[in-house]
């Protein structure tokens, strides 16, 4: 996901590469970087003398989720906390590789040239396999969204505005996926909680007089 993450601000539907399993670590290669035998960033910054490579300063301390640490001479990673920022892999490409279980995260709704103003994409599918001819992505994500947008979208309305107008809950229903905490940008930003009739005890049909016995005015 080195470059495709920029699509999150540009595309109605963006695909960002990711992986599900652990980052692969070559501990011997880590030591060669520490010892100066291999140049960090594949030598991209070798135009001047930056001093000796410091893995603590240049890799571990720059991890946005602080999921890396050195245990003696062993590099450890808490993969559950890894946010796939790619910094450590870019600095030490011979020592760190992405996992083998690869796919994409799908975000929808970004674009600057829309009626409501610029907005970033919203995560709708945390992980899906991406193998040619990409039938699963087409049938389970693109086509349902396409049909929904053509049916419900207003004139000149882009995907992001339709999502904003009808809500993320509607997008989840269209895709037939389960809600995921990773779809939430920040907690408590929406003051409304929506219930369906089958989720409410006795449904919507209630006796007003019975209700007032327990809820006096």
Percent of the chain with pLDDT over 90: 61
- Which one is predicted more confidently, 61 or 208? 61
3-state DSSP helix/strand/coil percent for the chain, to nearest 5? 35, 15, 45
pLDDT at 93: 95
Q: What is the pLDDT of residues 142-198, one digit of tens each?
A: 999 999 999 999 998 899 999 989 988 899 999 999 988 888 877 776 666 778 888
What residue ranges define each of the domains in the chain, with the CATH number in brackets? 21-97 (3.30.70.20), 108-199 (3.30.413.10)
d(CA 180, CA 168): 11
pLDDT at 191: 65
Tokens of 195: 């219930």
Residues 127, 129, 133, 137: is their CA dihedral positive or negative?
negative
Whether the Cβ atoms of residue 15 and residue 4 lie closer than 8 Å to each other? yes
Average pLDDT score, the chain: 90
């Amino acid at each position: 996901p080195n470059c495709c993450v920029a699509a999150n601000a540009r595309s109605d539907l963006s695909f960002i590469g990711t992986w599900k399993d652990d980052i692969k670590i070559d501990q011997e290669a880590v030591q060669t970087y520490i010892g100066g035998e291999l140049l960090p960033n594949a030598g991209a910054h070798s135009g001047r003398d930056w001093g000796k490579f410091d893995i603590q300063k240049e890799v571990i301390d720059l991890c946005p989720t602080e999921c890396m640490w050195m245990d003696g001479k062993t590099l450890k990673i808490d993969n559950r906390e890894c946010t796939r920022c790619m910094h450590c892999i870019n600095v030490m490409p011979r020592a760190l590789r992405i996992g083998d279980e690869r796919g994409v995260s799908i975000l929808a709704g970004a674009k600057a040239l829309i009626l409501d103003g610029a907005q970033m994409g919203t995560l709708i599918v945390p992980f899906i396999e991406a193998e040619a001819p990409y039938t699963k992505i087409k049938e389970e994500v693109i086509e349902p969204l396409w049909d929904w947008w053509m049916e419900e979208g207003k004139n000149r309305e882009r995907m992001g505005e339709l999502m904003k107008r009808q809500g993320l809950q509607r997008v989840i229903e269209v895709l037939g996926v389960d809600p995921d905490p990773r779809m939430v940008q920040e907690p408590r930003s929406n003051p409304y909680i929506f219930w369906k009739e089958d989720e409410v005890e006795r449904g919507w049909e209630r006796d007003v007089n019975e209700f007032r016995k327990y809820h006096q005015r």
